[in-house]
Structure formats: C-alpha cells, structure tokens
Structure 1
C-alpha cells in the first residue's frame, strides 16, 4: 500500500491521514483561538518538559548523531492551579505542522495559541502515582495528545508523552534547536514501519528508566501503562514485549505493522479505533491472550483519537469527521480512563463490559463482526 494512503497506523506528512480525504484549504473568515476542553477530574494539572539523552545508541534516523535525544512532556496532579498556562506548540512548530500539511488558509501560528488547561508553575501533589506513557502518531508531535494527558492527570495519573525525535514535523530542544522529520523521507525503505516500531520500543524503556530514576517517590513502578495513537499504537505491543514494567496497553487506531509473536501477549490490551475492517487487528487478536477489548467509534476518522479532529474544526478546516464539537476528545478520554482505572487501580468499569447509552457511538466487536 502506498505510504500516503495508509488508513491507520502510519501518519504521513499531512495532518490528515485517513485515506481518500484531502487536507482542507478553505477557512472561516475569522479564526478564533482554539482551545482544549477542561479536564473532568478533581486535581488541577501541572506540566513540565524534560530533555533526555540516551548515549547508549545512535539516532536511528540521523546516524551522525551519536546519541538518541528525546523530549518528554510530563503532566501531573497539582496541589493548586498556577498562573502560567502551558503552551501547546511554539509558533514555529505550529507553522511547520500546518505548512507540511498544506494548510495555508489560517495563520501559521494559530495552533500555538491553543488554550490548554495545565500550568507550568504548579506544585505537584504528593504520593506515588500510576504512570501512563503516551506515544503519538507519525509524524505528529507529543502535544497532539494533550487533551488526553490533561484528563488523566486531573484524575491522579502521571502522564509522560514522548516526542520521538526526527519522526514529527517540528520539535524544539531546550537550547533552541528545531529539528524536523528526517524519517519522513524514508517511507519506501524496506521494513520502514517495523524500524519505527522497534525504535519506539527502545525509546519508551529508556524514558521509563529516566523517569523512575528522577522521580522515585512520585511514580508507582507497579502501575505503569502505555497508550499510543497510530504509529504510537502500533508500537505498544512491541514495547510491552520488550519491557515487562508496562502492565497494560492501549492502541488508538494504529495498524499493527509488526505482529505479536506466536507466544502471545498476556497483559491487558485495548484496541480503540475507527470503524471498518483492519487486517492487522484481526491477525493479532488471537495472540492477545489476556484481558482484551476491541471497540470502534462511529463517525470517527483517524485524527479523532488525537486533539486534531477537534482543533481543526475549531479553526475552520475540518477533516470531515462526524463527531461534532469536543465529542471525539470526550469519548477517547472516557474509555482510556476506564481502561486505566480497571487495570492500574482495580476498580470495576461497567463501561468496558457492555454498550453505553451515554456513548452510543462506541461499538464492541470481534474480528468477525468488525466489518
């Protein structure tokens, strides 16, 4: 299948990755500043960014870089709200994301104006917390999962989203360096998708090592989960096989480019994505031997499992999904949180056992019924 028409799991150099839908160009005459919906938990949310460097390996996309550098955003429950809201993207990152996606009818810095709900100067609440690692789609930045991260932090989780360097349109290091998508020019190389998956399955354990070393009194090492969107979702299973610390995994609309082994994966796993057949999910379903669910969302498209289906609607360049307003974010937040509460906190979650009248868009299915 050509790189630019993959339906799930591999994001190309456009913000819209769903096959058959072109990136929109027309925008409303007046473009209001976009916003993320407020999280629903009891905790105010704080956030900080971390620069991490793995000197044990070269960068897989730029071999001349003799170390793997990554940026991580950490969201956490805070004692009270701060005074300085976190920036969603820098103006330059917004410009790179939009222009790479051929969206030129809105101000190039518009996404940098997105109103977030986390504060950079908020004091962390005490106690050891469950940790959730987020891996974004390719070539999207870690900020694409901010609404989900804020929600989970407001309910008491620590959340770490990773920018997989050179795998997104633009990211900024603390010294001011802005790097772009070196991997985007290599989609036709042999085993490209597997290379991405395997690289991310090394990034995540490295980040876990660094976080548990840096925050030994804040992270409950027995309660770690991973959620990934698109290529990030494709990497969850591989990461869980590589690192037993990851107790549970969520694949958000990601084609599984590297199959699970015949021995299977026995830890809890949720597949949550758009409607329709997906051969890689069918193929790997029997190899998920522990608790598992496969849920689909009517009216969703690939970006619906990030902030982007909602934000592009707000800035006047909607992608064509049928989930109006903030509904796509609301649904994703609620089901991800239910999964984490079940498997990291042990609380019963009827939402994961049967269809819900509150979320009629969500369908329970198995391979033979997901057509």
Structure 2
C-alpha cells in the first residue's frame, strides 16, 4: 500500500513538493538542500490565486484554550491550546489586508521545507492573500467548513482554499493542531514548534494523531457555535450545516471527526491515507468525497481508500487528478512556482491544480450543505479533463 502522509515531516520546498508522499517515515529523514533562488525571485511578491466567489473575505484569528483537556503531546504545557483562522463572507471595502503568516512561522517552515534555498522569511510571510482583518460580515447565515492541514504543515498552507470557500458563502475555520506543525505563533508572541515530528510519533502512532485531531475539531465547533462563542460573528454560522475537509492526515482526520461528531454532515479527504481501520465506518450514510492524485490514489494504489470506498454508505465520489502531486492540494506549489523553484514531480501547473481543488471541493459543499445541484459531480467534465471518476 502506498502511504500519503509519511514523509511530510522532512524535505524541502523544492524537492518534497515534487515527490508524492509514498515512502515510509524512516526513509524520509535526509533532506536535500533546495536549489538557491535568484535575487529577482527573492524580491517577488508572492500571491495566492484570487477567490472565485462573489463575496469579499474577512478573517479573524482566535486563540482557543480547551480547559477540560491537557495537551496530548506536551502535557506539561497545560490545557490544549489551538490557533484558528476564521474566514467569512464580508462586506466589501471593510477591514485591512490580512497577513499570510508571521515571519517566525515563515522562517520555521522554510527551515523545514527549503533549507539552503535563500528565501527570506519576509518573502513568504508577505505573501498576498485576499482576506481582510476587521472586515464587517456580510448579512445572512452561512454553513461552517472546518479545514485541517497536512502533518508538519502550518494551517496557513490551506489559506487559498479557505479564502475561496469563504468567497462562495461559507464560514471556514482553519485549524492549527499545536505541536504537529513546523511552527505556530500565538498572540503572546510565543511560537510553538513540532513535538511529534521526525520519528517522534506518540504511542498509538497515526491513529492517536487522528483521534486528537477529531477532538480538536469538535472543540473548535463547540467554540464557534456556542451562545457564548469568543468569535463575535458566531451568529452568522448555521449550526445545522457543518462540513470538514483536510489535506493528507487532515483528510484522514475528516473521517475520524465525522465518526465521533454527528454535527459534521459531510467530509472531504484530499490525498490522505486513512489511518483508522475501518477508516470510514463511523461516517455511516453521510456524504464523503475522496479527492486525490492519480499516481497514489487510483484504485489498488492505496488500499485504505479501497476499504473506505467499501465502507462509505452514503453519497460518495472518488476522484483522481492526473499529473498532480500530493502537495497540489495546498498553497505551496503555487508559491514555489512563483519563486522559480523546480517542481519535477508534477506535470500539472500549480495554478491549474488549485483551480481543480477549489472547483470540486466547492461543488461538494454547495451540494451537500446548500442543496445546490452540481453537474460537475455527476459525470466527467470537459472543463476538467484531468479529473477521473473512479468506480463510476
């Protein structure tokens, strides 16, 4: 079986982005220095793709503390503490431009992903996104979608998808899972790094990671939908329409979260091997989308997907994207391309992969959480010939 979140713990922005995550963790410890970027590339203004929906996008940042749960990876740290970026449909021309990530977060991500490439942290942290902090919310009530990033990756690497969903009329909670990523900066100025990376998985391994993420997600949903929510615009959330999507282990965790929290009505796994067996039995009749690379997730290439397909009892689709790499479901390939870093493992343009991800994930939630029919999910589309419907 090919595993698709096993070498996310090490590598380079240039090289790891180009290689599917198909090797065991033990084989992934040696990082190859990335090619150095030119001076002109270092000076480039990195930019995320523009959101496709009709709404402007606002963003709030929450520091949430679960006082009923000690941190599972560093108990001495005290209660579980999570940083969450909440994207939401906003009124146009309100608020101020939101930053992509802190400079310290950028430095730690580059240290892990692109050692020796010579990319200044400010170049990455200064990536232009489209959300605005302090923006006034648009009128109405909207479904909630929770996003969970890949292992070792900060939550910000799913910003492009989060902004696009918010522009289409969703509140999106982008969750960092503390001590599971390269580094997350908290409001007090502290930046917490990964405690379980580099072969330091806890007892229970990937199953424990999935279970912890499922608990994180339920807590975040509690916080955002509570009458006493710390998010001032919580009344814009329709508590009866909640979904979840994730990349890599975050995608596996979407099924785990659905298994323990019935409020999550629909889920998406973007190229993540399922770690819990049976992986999707707890999902029951709720809808689920499998969206992955053709190289690693066509039938028979990751048996956890074959088993999940058999277990899923409700509406389901299994889609693969020809030419895509494991990382094409987040922001990193598009940013690497703008820096001129080579991406030899993929044959699809990063911008094209981002458009496909946005189109199909957005269509899935439009159908399942808004009840809007989606021809895109019924049959192969001439607009997206790279996408194959498995088990039609």
Q: Which residue, 107, 132, 155 being the options, matches 1:142?
A: 155
Q: Does the alignment pair 1:18 with 2:20? A: yes
Q: Which residue, 38, 59, 64 being the options, matches 1:52?
A: 64
Counterpart position of 2:318? 294
Q: In structure 2, how many angstroms separate the alpha carbons of the residues matched to 1:54 and 1:189?
A: 20
In the TM superposition, residue 352 of structure 1 has moved relative to its aligned partner by 0.5
Q: Does the alignment pair 1:360 with 2:385? A: yes
* Count of paired positions: 364
In the TM superposition, residue 81 of structure 1 has moved relative to its aligned partner by 2.7
Contact 1:45 1:153 in 2 (8 A): yes
Q: CA RMSD in A?
A: 2.0
Q: In structure 2, how many angstroms separate the alpha carbons of the residues matched to 1:351 and 1:188?
A: 39
Counterpart position of 1:133? 146
Unaligned runs of 5+ in 2: 296-300
In the TM superposition, residue 218 of structure 1 has moved relative to its aligned partner by 1.3
Give the 3-state SS of the residue equivalent to 1:74 in structure 2: strand
Contact 2:149 2:176 in 1 (8 A): yes
Unaligned runs of 5+ in 1: none
Contact 2:33 2:116 in 1 (8 A): no
Q: 1:307 to 1:190 in 2, by over 3 A?
A: same
Contact 1:10 1:254 in 2 (8 A): no
Q: In structure 1, how many angstroms separate the alpha carbons of the residues matched to 2:280 and 2:267?
A: 16
Aligned pairs for 1:286-365 (under 5 A) are 286-320=310-344, 321-365=346-390
Q: Which residue, 242, 247, 261 being the options, matches 1:224?
A: 242
Q: 1:343 to 1:168 in 2, by over 3 A?
A: same
In the TM superposition, residue 319 of structure 1 has moved relative to its aligned partner by 2.9
- Dislocated runs of 4+, deviation >6 Å: none
Q: TM-score scaled by structure 2?
A: 0.88
Contact 1:37 1:147 in 2 (8 A): yes
Contact 2:287 2:314 in 1 (8 A): yes
In the TM superposition, residue 250 of structure 1 has moved relative to its aligned partner by 0.3
Give the 3-state SS of the residue equivalent to 1:217 in structure 2: helix
Moved more, 16-25 or 31-40: 16-25
Counterpart position of 2:110? 98
Give the 3-state SS of the residue equivalent to 2:75 in structure 1: coil
Counterpart position of 2:259? 241
Q: TM-score scaled by structure 1?
A: 0.93
Q: In structure 2, how many angstroms separate the alpha carbons of the residues matched to 1:205 and 1:9?
A: 25
In the TM superposition, residue 202 of structure 1 has moved relative to its aligned partner by 0.3
In the TM superposition, residue 26 of structure 1 has moved relative to its aligned partner by 3.4
In the TM superposition, residue 208 of structure 1 has moved relative to its aligned partner by 0.3
In the TM superposition, residue 113 of structure 1 has moved relative to its aligned partner by 1.4
Q: Does the alignment pair 1:121 with 2:139? A: no
In the TM superposition, residue 99 of structure 1 has moved relative to its aligned partner by 0.9
Q: Which residue, 28, 40, 45 being the options, matches 1:30?
A: 40
Q: 1:75 to 1:224 in 2, by over 3 A?
A: same
Q: In structure 1, how many angstroms separate the alpha carbons of the residues matched to 2:251 and 2:68?
A: 25
Q: In structure 2, how many angstroms separate the alpha carbons of the residues matched to 1:338 and 1:175?
A: 38
In the TM superposition, residue 207 of structure 1 has moved relative to its aligned partner by 0.3
Q: 1:79 to 1:189 in 2, by over 3 A?
A: closer
Q: 1:179 to 1:264 in 2, by over 3 A?
A: closer
Moved more, 284-293 or 105-114: 105-114
Contact 1:310 1:328 in 2 (8 A): no
After superposition, give the CA deviation of every residue in 1:197-253 in whole Å (9 maximum; x if it has no partner).
Answer: 010010000000000012552110110000010010010111001100000000000
